[in-house]
Amino acid sequence: MRLLKMAMALLVAGSFLVSACSRPAATVNGKKISKETLEMHLKERVAEHKGQNVTIDDKKLRESVLQELISESISLDEAAARGITATDAEADREIDALKQRFGDEAFKKSLKEKGLTLEAFRKRVKEKIVLGRFVETFAKESDVTEAEMSDYYKNSPKPFLKPARVNMKIVEFQSEEAARSAAEDLKRTNANFDQYADQLGKDNKANVTDYGWVSPEFFSPSMAAAIKALKEGQYGGPYKGQKSFYLVRVKGSEPEGIAKYDEVKEMIRNMLLQQKRSEAYLKWLEQKRAASKIVSNLS
């Protein structure tokens, strides 16, 4: 009899453990958010925080990530109901851009650190594209008026600054040897920089970008400092960039200064548009969450 009671107790305890382990992290209107999904996103967020040297509170971070997943689930369901989608091709273009920016090996390392497969990451990218398009539906460009933009410019607590910039021609080489050889040839022959650069472009020996206004800060710190030191009409290089080597010629320069309204008008429009969209979306989300049946199983 005693053994029978012990067996029954173990059976009940086992059933409880199986039930607890099989429960999802949360359900949103009957739709499950699995614990595996939560752990995957949590691992991704932990990796991001560690990369930024941010102190992590495991319990608070887990709850925060779950709440984000709940909000995403509600939003993605609504986006699907409205016919908002994203294709694999669109996600792959985003992924290719990341690979080009950071390098293929660094991209793979980042996925591994976050515990993500390429397919899982592609799914996340598609969801982010859909969410972005969904939020965009909450306000149109025409919802931002000229008066709002003008008032924002006039009443901004800090003036809108435009960075120092230079009008320069850029000659990009794939190897330091090719860039150094061209620089030495230019100096030895005392050739006209513009004509020499254009010929390099025609011969497919370099990628040539004609004169245009560029902020030196777009380049590496050492290259930016060298460009700032060039006077109008001077050329310099080779300079080492992130992946390439450059020769440049400066045609003109402008110091940092206060931007005129027309120079920052579109930037202000985009800022106000994003603000309107965010406010309207968050208001909608608050109402939608209140009307949804949300069950969290975090202990």
131 and 173 assigned to the same domain = no
Weakest mean pLDDT among 170-179, 212-221, 244-253: 212-221
133 and 22 assigned to the same domain = yes
- Cβ neighbours of residue 274 closer than 8 Å, sequence gap 6 or more: none
Asked if the model's pLDDT at residue 10 lies above 70, the reply is no
CATH number at residue 105: 1.10.4030.10
110 and 169 assigned to the same domain = no
Residue 11's pLDDT band (boundaries 50, 70, 90)?
A: very low
DSSP SS3 for 89: helix
pLDDT digits (tens, 9 = 90+) for 188-234: 999 999 999 999 999 999 999 999 999 998 888 889 999 999 999 99
Residue 194 domain-assigned (yes or no): yes
130 and 172 assigned to the same domain = no
Distance of alpha carbon 254 from alpha carbon 263, whole angstroms:
14
109 and 235 assigned to the same domain = no
Peptide bond into 238 cis (omega under 30): yes
- Mean pLDDT for 39-63 is 85
Phi, psi (5° rounding) for residue 55? -70, 135
25 and 135 assigned to the same domain = yes
Give the structural domain span for 129. Answer: 5-139
Asked if the model's pLDDT at residue 2 lies above 60, the reply is no
118 and 50 assigned to the same domain = yes
Residue 240 domain-assigned (yes or no): yes
181 and 126 assigned to the same domain = no
193 and 83 assigned to the same domain = no
CATH number at residue 169: 3.10.50.40
Residue 149 domain-assigned (yes or no): no
Q: Pick the more confident residue, 241 or 203.
A: 203
- Mean pLDDT for 94-113 is 88
SS3 content of the chain, % helix, strand, coil (to 5): 60, 15, 20
Amino acid at 120: A
- Mean pLDDT for 132-138 is 98
Q: What is the number of structural domains in the chain?
A: 2
133 and 183 assigned to the same domain = no
Distance of alpha carbon 117 from alpha carbon 199, whole angstroms:
46
pTM for the model stands at: 0.72
Q: Which long-range contacts (CB under 8 A, 24 or more apart) does 93-100 make?
A: 94/125, 94/129, 95/121, 95/122, 95/125
191 and 235 assigned to the same domain = yes
- Cβ neighbours of residue 14 closer than 8 Å, sequence gap 6 or more: none
Q: Which of 234, 255, 276 is the last residue of a domain?
A: 255
